[in-house]
Chain A
Protein backbone atom coordinates (compact mmCIF):
# COMPACT_ATOMS: atom_id res chain seq x y z
CA UNK A 1 0.00 0.00 0.00
CA UNK A 2 1.65 3.21 -1.17
CA UNK A 3 0.04 5.32 1.56
CA UNK A 4 2.24 3.78 4.27
CA UNK A 5 5.33 4.66 2.24
CA UNK A 6 4.35 8.31 2.54
CA UNK A 7 4.38 8.37 6.31
CA UNK A 8 7.96 9.29 7.04
CA UNK A 9 10.99 10.17 5.03
CA UNK A 10 12.91 7.59 7.05
CA UNK A 11 10.73 4.86 5.64
CA UNK A 12 11.37 6.24 2.18
CA UNK A 13 15.11 5.89 2.73
CA UNK A 14 14.78 2.42 4.18
CA UNK A 15 12.86 1.40 1.07
CA UNK A 16 16.00 2.37 -0.85
CA UNK A 17 14.26 4.58 -3.36
CA UNK A 18 16.61 6.56 -5.55
CA UNK A 19 17.52 9.95 -4.06
CA UNK A 20 15.66 11.79 -6.81
CA UNK A 21 12.47 9.81 -6.32
CA UNK A 22 12.58 10.04 -2.54
CA UNK A 23 13.07 13.80 -2.71
CA UNK A 24 10.17 14.15 -5.14
CA UNK A 25 7.97 12.26 -2.72
CA UNK A 26 9.23 14.39 0.15
CA UNK A 27 8.53 17.63 -1.69
CA UNK A 28 5.00 16.58 -2.40
CA UNK A 29 4.46 16.15 1.35
CA UNK A 30 6.24 19.34 2.21
CA UNK A 31 3.75 22.16 2.43
CA UNK A 32 1.25 22.36 5.25
CA UNK A 33 -2.20 23.60 4.42
CA UNK A 34 -1.95 27.13 5.72
CA UNK A 35 1.43 28.81 6.01
CA UNK A 36 3.44 26.51 3.75
CA UNK A 37 5.84 25.86 6.61
CA UNK A 38 7.28 22.40 6.91
CA UNK A 39 7.62 22.55 10.68
CA UNK A 40 5.00 19.85 11.29
CA UNK A 41 6.65 17.61 8.76
CA UNK A 42 10.11 18.29 10.20
CA UNK A 43 8.84 17.44 13.69
CA UNK A 44 7.98 14.02 12.32
CA UNK A 45 11.24 13.68 10.39
CA UNK A 46 13.45 14.26 13.42
CA UNK A 47 11.69 11.51 15.37
CA UNK A 48 11.64 9.03 12.52
CA UNK A 49 15.03 7.56 13.31
CA UNK A 50 17.58 7.52 16.16
CA UNK A 51 19.95 9.65 14.13
CA UNK A 52 18.63 12.18 11.62
CA UNK A 53 20.88 14.43 9.57
CA UNK A 54 19.93 17.43 7.44
CA UNK A 55 22.74 17.91 4.98
CA UNK A 56 23.79 19.14 1.58
CA UNK A 57 23.96 16.23 -0.80
CA UNK A 58 23.59 12.62 0.21
CA UNK A 59 25.80 10.38 2.39
CA UNK A 60 27.21 8.69 -0.68
CA UNK A 61 28.06 12.09 -2.15
CA UNK A 62 28.02 15.06 0.24
CA UNK A 63 28.01 18.43 -1.51
CA UNK A 64 29.74 20.41 1.21
CA UNK A 65 32.79 19.91 3.43
CA UNK A 66 30.82 20.42 6.65
CA UNK A 67 28.16 17.90 5.65
CA UNK A 68 30.88 15.53 4.53
CA UNK A 69 32.62 15.81 7.91
CA UNK A 70 29.42 14.90 9.76
CA UNK A 71 28.77 11.86 7.59
CA UNK A 72 32.37 10.70 7.87
CA UNK A 73 32.26 10.97 11.65
CA UNK A 74 29.02 8.98 11.85
CA UNK A 75 30.46 6.34 9.54
CA UNK A 76 33.64 6.25 11.61
CA UNK A 77 31.49 5.28 14.58
CA UNK A 78 29.94 2.52 12.53
CA UNK A 79 26.67 4.12 11.44
CA UNK A 80 25.70 3.11 7.94
CA UNK A 81 23.25 5.10 5.77
CA UNK A 82 20.53 2.53 6.39
CA UNK A 83 20.46 3.14 10.16
CA UNK A 84 20.28 6.89 10.06
CA UNK A 85 18.07 9.21 8.02
CA UNK A 86 19.71 11.84 5.88
CA UNK A 87 17.74 14.62 4.21
CA UNK A 88 19.23 16.57 1.35
CA UNK A 89 18.30 20.24 1.71
CA UNK A 90 19.58 20.95 -1.79
CA UNK A 91 16.60 18.99 -3.13
CA UNK A 92 14.02 20.98 -1.22
CA UNK A 93 14.32 24.75 -0.80
CA UNK A 94 11.40 24.83 1.63
CA UNK A 95 13.15 22.29 3.85
CA UNK A 96 16.41 24.18 3.55
CA UNK A 97 14.79 27.32 5.00
CA UNK A 98 12.35 25.76 7.45
CA UNK A 99 14.89 23.46 9.13
CA UNK A 100 16.78 26.60 10.17
CA UNK A 101 13.74 28.14 11.84
CA UNK A 102 12.64 24.80 13.27
CA UNK A 103 16.00 24.17 14.93
CA UNK A 104 16.74 27.87 15.51
CA UNK A 105 20.10 27.13 13.93
CA UNK A 106 21.37 29.07 10.95
CA UNK A 107 23.51 26.55 9.09
CA UNK A 108 23.52 23.11 7.50
CA UNK A 109 24.40 20.35 8.42
CA UNK A 110 22.19 19.68 11.44
CA UNK A 111 22.16 16.51 13.52
CA UNK A 112 19.33 15.12 15.66
CA UNK A 113 19.57 12.23 18.15
CA UNK A 114 16.21 10.79 19.24
CA UNK A 115 14.44 13.93 18.09
CA UNK A 116 16.77 16.22 20.02
CA UNK A 117 18.94 18.77 18.23
CA UNK A 118 22.60 18.01 18.84
CA UNK A 119 24.32 20.62 16.72
CA UNK A 120 26.19 21.06 13.48
CA UNK A 121 29.59 20.11 12.21
CA UNK A 122 31.66 21.93 14.90
CA UNK A 123 29.74 20.32 17.73
CA UNK A 124 29.96 16.86 16.24
CA UNK A 125 33.70 17.16 15.62
CA UNK A 126 34.27 18.27 19.21
CA UNK A 127 32.11 15.46 20.59
CA UNK A 128 33.98 12.97 18.44
CA UNK A 129 37.39 14.25 19.54
CA UNK A 130 36.70 14.14 23.27
CA UNK A 131 34.82 10.84 23.38
CA UNK A 132 31.43 12.41 24.09
CA UNK A 133 29.98 11.05 20.88
CA UNK A 134 30.51 7.46 21.99
CA UNK A 135 28.54 8.27 25.16
CA UNK A 136 25.74 10.08 23.35
CA UNK A 137 25.36 7.22 20.88
CA UNK A 138 25.24 4.77 23.80
CA UNK A 139 22.42 6.80 25.34
CA UNK A 140 20.33 6.28 22.22
CA UNK A 141 21.14 2.61 22.03
CA UNK A 142 23.86 2.67 19.41
CA UNK A 143 27.19 1.05 20.15
CA UNK A 144 29.95 3.00 18.50
CA UNK A 145 32.31 0.97 16.34
CA UNK A 146 35.14 2.73 18.15
CA UNK A 147 33.95 1.31 21.46
CA UNK A 148 33.83 -2.17 19.98
CA UNK A 149 37.35 -1.69 18.65
CA UNK A 150 38.60 -0.51 22.06
CA UNK A 151 37.03 -3.52 23.78
CA UNK A 152 38.60 -5.85 21.28
CA UNK A 153 42.04 -4.44 22.01
CA UNK A 154 41.61 -5.12 25.71
CA UNK A 155 40.94 -8.79 25.16
Chain B
Protein backbone atom coordinates (compact mmCIF):
# COMPACT_ATOMS: atom_id res chain seq x y z
CA UNK B 1 0.00 0.00 0.00
CA UNK B 2 1.14 3.57 -0.54
CA UNK B 3 0.38 6.61 1.58
CA UNK B 4 -1.35 9.23 -0.51
CA UNK B 5 1.49 11.66 0.06
CA UNK B 6 3.86 9.43 -1.88
CA UNK B 7 1.66 8.74 -4.90
CA UNK B 8 2.77 9.73 -8.37
CA UNK B 9 -0.29 10.11 -10.59
CA UNK B 10 1.73 9.48 -13.73
CA UNK B 11 1.15 10.98 -17.15
CA UNK B 12 -1.92 13.23 -17.13
CA UNK B 13 -3.25 13.54 -20.65
CA UNK B 14 -6.65 14.42 -22.09
CA UNK B 15 -8.38 11.32 -20.74
CA UNK B 16 -7.05 11.90 -17.21
CA UNK B 17 -8.34 15.47 -17.47
CA UNK B 18 -11.79 14.27 -18.52
CA UNK B 19 -11.86 11.76 -15.68
CA UNK B 20 -10.89 14.44 -13.21
CA UNK B 21 -13.47 16.89 -14.56
CA UNK B 22 -16.31 14.35 -14.55
CA UNK B 23 -15.59 13.01 -11.08
CA UNK B 24 -15.24 16.53 -9.70
CA UNK B 25 -18.53 17.61 -11.21
CA UNK B 26 -20.51 14.52 -10.26
CA UNK B 27 -19.11 13.62 -6.85
CA UNK B 28 -17.71 16.89 -5.45
CA UNK B 29 -14.72 15.12 -3.93
CA UNK B 30 -12.75 16.65 -1.09
CA UNK B 31 -9.78 14.66 -2.34
CA UNK B 32 -9.23 13.13 -5.78
CA UNK B 33 -6.40 11.14 -7.29
CA UNK B 34 -6.45 10.07 -10.93
CA UNK B 35 -3.57 7.66 -11.21
CA UNK B 36 -2.49 6.61 -14.67
CA UNK B 37 -1.49 2.94 -14.49
CA UNK B 38 -1.10 2.44 -18.22
CA UNK B 39 2.67 1.90 -18.20
CA UNK B 40 3.53 -1.46 -19.67
CA UNK B 41 0.32 -1.82 -21.63
CA UNK B 42 1.91 -1.05 -24.96
CA UNK B 43 0.89 2.54 -25.59
CA UNK B 44 4.16 4.12 -24.47
CA UNK B 45 4.71 7.01 -22.05
CA UNK B 46 1.56 8.88 -23.12
CA UNK B 47 -0.73 5.86 -22.89
CA UNK B 48 -4.04 6.42 -21.12
CA UNK B 49 -5.87 3.13 -20.83
CA UNK B 50 -5.58 1.90 -17.25
CA UNK B 51 -6.47 4.11 -14.32
CA UNK B 52 -6.93 3.96 -10.58
CA UNK B 53 -9.14 6.67 -9.09
CA UNK B 54 -9.19 7.55 -5.42
CA UNK B 55 -12.35 9.52 -4.70
CA UNK B 56 -13.00 10.97 -1.26
CA UNK B 57 -16.46 12.45 -0.96
CA UNK B 58 -19.12 12.85 1.69
CA UNK B 59 -21.61 11.76 -0.98
CA UNK B 60 -20.46 8.24 -0.12
CA UNK B 61 -21.69 8.50 3.45
CA UNK B 62 -24.09 5.66 4.27
CA UNK B 63 -23.64 4.27 0.78
CA UNK B 64 -22.63 0.63 0.39
CA UNK B 65 -19.34 -0.11 -1.35
CA UNK B 66 -20.83 -1.55 -4.51
CA UNK B 67 -23.16 1.42 -4.88
CA UNK B 68 -20.18 3.79 -4.43
CA UNK B 69 -18.35 2.04 -7.25
CA UNK B 70 -21.47 2.29 -9.41
CA UNK B 71 -21.59 6.03 -8.73
CA UNK B 72 -18.03 6.36 -9.99
CA UNK B 73 -18.75 4.14 -13.01
CA UNK B 74 -21.87 6.16 -13.84
CA UNK B 75 -19.90 9.42 -13.69
CA UNK B 76 -17.45 7.97 -16.19
CA UNK B 77 -19.97 6.14 -18.37
CA UNK B 78 -18.88 7.88 -21.56
CA UNK B 79 -15.18 7.33 -20.88
CA UNK B 80 -15.82 3.66 -20.14
CA UNK B 81 -17.81 3.05 -23.30
CA UNK B 82 -15.41 1.15 -25.52
CA UNK B 83 -18.13 0.34 -28.04
CA UNK B 84 -17.69 3.75 -29.64
CA UNK B 85 -15.48 4.46 -32.65
CA UNK B 86 -12.93 6.29 -30.52
CA UNK B 87 -12.48 3.31 -28.21
CA UNK B 88 -8.73 3.81 -28.15
CA UNK B 89 -9.26 7.05 -26.24
CA UNK B 90 -11.32 5.27 -23.61
CA UNK B 91 -10.71 3.70 -20.21
CA UNK B 92 -9.89 0.02 -20.56
CA UNK B 93 -9.34 -0.79 -16.91
CA UNK B 94 -10.47 1.09 -13.83
CA UNK B 95 -9.61 0.48 -10.19
CA UNK B 96 -11.70 2.39 -7.69
CA UNK B 97 -11.11 3.51 -4.12
CA UNK B 98 -14.18 5.34 -2.81
CA UNK B 99 -14.14 6.70 0.74
CA UNK B 100 -15.85 9.26 2.89
CA UNK B 101 -13.64 12.01 4.37
CA UNK B 102 -13.82 10.28 7.76
CA UNK B 103 -12.69 6.95 6.30
CA UNK B 104 -9.89 8.70 4.41
CA UNK B 105 -8.70 10.43 7.57
CA UNK B 106 -8.60 7.07 9.31
CA UNK B 107 -6.63 5.49 6.49
CA UNK B 108 -5.23 7.10 3.37
CA UNK B 109 -3.48 3.98 2.18
CA UNK B 110 -4.08 3.19 -1.46
CA UNK B 111 -3.93 -0.52 -2.21
CA UNK B 112 -1.75 -1.71 -5.06
CA UNK B 113 -3.50 -2.77 -8.24
CA UNK B 114 -3.10 -6.44 -9.19
CA UNK B 115 -0.37 -6.82 -11.82
CA UNK B 116 -1.92 -6.86 -15.25
CA UNK B 117 -0.42 -9.75 -17.17
CA UNK B 118 -2.01 -8.35 -20.32
CA UNK B 119 -5.65 -8.25 -21.32
CA UNK B 120 -6.74 -5.06 -19.52
CA UNK B 121 -9.98 -4.75 -17.59
CA UNK B 122 -12.61 -4.60 -20.32
Residues of A bordering B, CB below 8 Å: 56-57, 62-69, 90, 97, 104-108, 117-123, 125-126, 129
A129 to chain B, nearest CB (A): 8
Q: Are A122 and B95 in contact (CB under 8 A)?
A: yes
Q: Does residue B120 face the partner (Cβ distance < 8 Å to A)?
A: yes
Q: Are A126 and B66 in contact (CB under 8 A)?
A: no
Q: Are A63 and B122 in contact (CB under 8 A)?
A: no
Q: Does residue B96 face the partner (Cβ distance < 8 Å to A)?
A: yes
Q: How far is the CA of A123 from the CA of B65 in the complex (A)?
A: 7
Chain B 96-122 near chain A by CB (<8 Å), digits 1 or 0? 110000000000000101111111111
Q: Between A and B, how many residue pairs show CB distances below 8 Å?
A: 64
Q: Does residue B94 face the partner (Cβ distance < 8 Å to A)?
A: yes
Of all chain B residues, the one with the shortest Cβ separation from A129 is B111
Q: A65-B114, A66-B114 are in contact. Are A122 and B69 (CB under 8 A)?
A: yes
B3 to chain A, nearest CB (A): 17
Q: Which residues of A contact B117 (CB under 8 A)?
A: 62-65, 68
Q: Are B69 and A64 in contact (CB under 8 A)?
A: no
Q: Which residues of B contact A63 (CB under 8 A)?
A: 117-119
Q: How far is the CA of A105 from the CA of B95 in the complex (A)?
A: 13
